[in-house]
Each structure stands twice: as structure tokens, then as C-alpha cells.
Amino acid sequence: MMILDTITTYKRQEVAAAKKAFPLKMLGQSVYFDRKCHSLSQALRNSATGIIAEHKRRSPSKKIINDQATLPDVVSAYAQAGVSGISVLTDTKFFGGALTDLLLARSTVKTALLRKDFIVDAYQIYESKAYGADAILLIAACLSEAQLQEYSDLATTLGLEVLLEIHNDEELERVQHLPVAMIGVNNRNLKTFEVSITTSETLADRIPDTIVKITESGISEIDTVSSLRNMGYQGFLMGEHFMKQQDPGVAAHNFIQQLL
């Protein structure tokens, strides 16, 4: 079984339990539910660097990345470094995150927050709004066309932006008609976990220019960012490169200064 299948199967069980514990009515009472979201896509369009820095403690491929740096310290340092957005991993079992990480990030910074998780149910989109996200990730490999349409529409209705993640041409064909602000190309092969920037290079021209193009995974060099920016990418999602440093915020600051 592919790791993605394992994760999504477990995620459906998690969501079923969450629905019982925190019905939609309760989510709607959150202090953040009626908050006007920040626009991550606009922040990326207006940015000279387009860095989206991620808070990630561990991953299925790398195990522990950084479980010492505290989330408020990391996200506040990211914001001070001048990132365009912050990605917060909220999956617990596989990535060591939590929904409360999103709450903590929201109470710490005003920067646009992307909830990075495996969305398999509309409930999680309401949940994202309630916990302070500005944007959500939808992974084409996990969802049917009907789900992608439904979830994109629901996010828009709630005022959330969508980062739609693809890995290949076939997935791009399925998603480019959807009303999403951002398309992200994940350079990591979900079957082998190998990373190749060629994936982003190949798909660059095929993504409509009306959509903000984001490249994800394996971004660690200034030259890579410059090269992909020239191909039309406006967002660069960086997780492990910053998080594996002792001080992720300093690492982000130094990287952004070199780009300016």
C-alpha cells in the first residue's frame, strides 16, 4: 500500500472521531470562524522572494526533523524574516503536528497561514477556518474530481484560498479548470519519495499564468529558486531546509536576504 493510501485511510478514521467530538455547530462558534482571511496568493504576487516557510517536526521519509524548536519561536522568526506565508503541518500521526499548532501560529503572527494536511472530508475545511487558517492544501492524488470541485467551492465560500497540489501532467489536466488561487507542484514522488526539481521545470509552462504557481519539496538552493522564478513560479514552499537547522528562523532570514 502506498504511503498516501495509508495516511488517507487513517485520516478518515480521525475525521470520523473529530466529527463526534466537535460537531460543525461547535466549529462555527470559534473566534476565528468569521475572521476575514489573509490572501496567500496576493502575498506571493507582491513578494520579491515568495518563500513559504513550513513548520514541520517530522515526516514519514525523514523521521524527526526538529522537535526542539518551539512553534511560537519558529513562526514569529519566520514572520520577522519576511516570509510570504507560513505552512503549518497539522497531521499528528505521520508528521508530529496538531490542529492546536494552527491556533498557536494564528495567535502569534499575522502572516498568511496554510494548513498543510491530508483533506479527505468537507469537515476539515470548516475545521481549518475555525482554527485560523487562511488557505488549505488539496492534494489531487487523494481526491476525485467531484471532491476537488466540492472542496474548492466550499473553501471559496468560507473565504479560504486553495493550494491545489499536483505531481504530474495527468493531475494538472484534472484540476486546471477549478476555481483555485494557487497550484503547487510537488517535486516528491509519492510512491518512491524521491525528489526531482525536473517535475516543476516540466510543468511550469502548462500551468495557466492566471494561477499563482508554487513549487514544493527539495528547494534548498538560491539558484534553484532563481531558476524556477524565471520559469514563472511565484511561491517556494520550504520545510525541511529551514526546520533541520538549529534555528529555523535564522536560516529563513539568511536565505531570504540572499534572494533580495
Q: Tell me, what's the pLDDT at 176?
A: 85
Rounded distance between C-alpha atoms, residue 36 and residue 72, angstroms = 22
Q: Tell me, what's the pLDDT at 238?
A: 96
Rounded distance between C-alpha atoms, residue 157 and residue 82, angstroms = 29
Strands 212-216 and 161-166: unpaired
Q: Tell me, what's the pLDDT at 130?
A: 98
**Distance set, CA 87 to CA 30, 79, 135, 203 (Å):** 21, 12, 9, 23
Mean pLDDT of 16-37: 96
Q: Render the burial of 52-79: b for 16+ CB within 10 Å, e for the rest.
A: bbbbbbbbeeeeebbeebebeebbbbbb
Q: Tell me, what's the pLDDT at 189?
A: 82
Whose cell is 497550484? That residue is: 183
Would you tell me how many other CB atoms lie within 10 Å of the CB of residue 226?
10
Q: At what angle do helices 99-108 and 71-81 cross, to 10 degrees?
A: 50
Mean pLDDT of 82-103: 97
Q: Which of residues 164 and 179 earns the better pLDDT score?
A: 164
Q: Tell me, what's the pLDDT at 3?
A: 83
Q: Tell me, what's the pLDDT at 215?
A: 98
Mean pLDDT of 111-124: 98
Q: Tell me, what's the pLDDT at 49?
A: 95
Q: In percent, how much of the chain has pLDDT > 90? A: 91
174-210 pLDDT tens trace: 998 898 999 999 998 877 778 999 999 999 999 999 9
Cβ-based neighbours of 217, under 8 Å, separated by 6 or more: 186, 187, 188, 195, 237, 239
Q: Where are the domains of the chain?
A: 3-259
Q: Which one-letter DSSP state was computed for residue 140?
A: G
Confidence at 2, pLDDT banded by 50, 70, 90: confident
**Distance set, CA 144 to CA 3, 128, 247 (Å):** 18, 20, 39
Q: Which of residues 4 and 230 earns the better pLDDT score?
A: 230
Rounded distance between C-alpha atoms, residue 104 and residue 147, angstroms = 29
Would you tell me how many other CB atoms lie within 10 Å of the CB of residue 44?
24
Mean pLDDT of 234-258: 96
Confidence at 62, pLDDT banded by 50, 70, 90: confident
Q: In percent, how much of the chain has pLDDT > 70? A: 100
Q: Tell me, what's the pLDDT at 239?
A: 85
HSE (side-chain half, CA atoms, 13 Å) at 112: 25
Is 80 exceeded by the pLDDT of residue 61? Answer: no
Find the range with the poorest average confidence among 155-159, 186-190, 245-249. Answer: 186-190
**Three cell numbers at 152?**
474548492
Name the class of domain 3-259.
alpha beta
The predicted model scores a pTM of 0.97
Is 90 exceeded by the pLDDT of residue 211? Answer: yes
Rounded distance between C-alpha atoms, residue 206 and residue 125, angstroms = 28
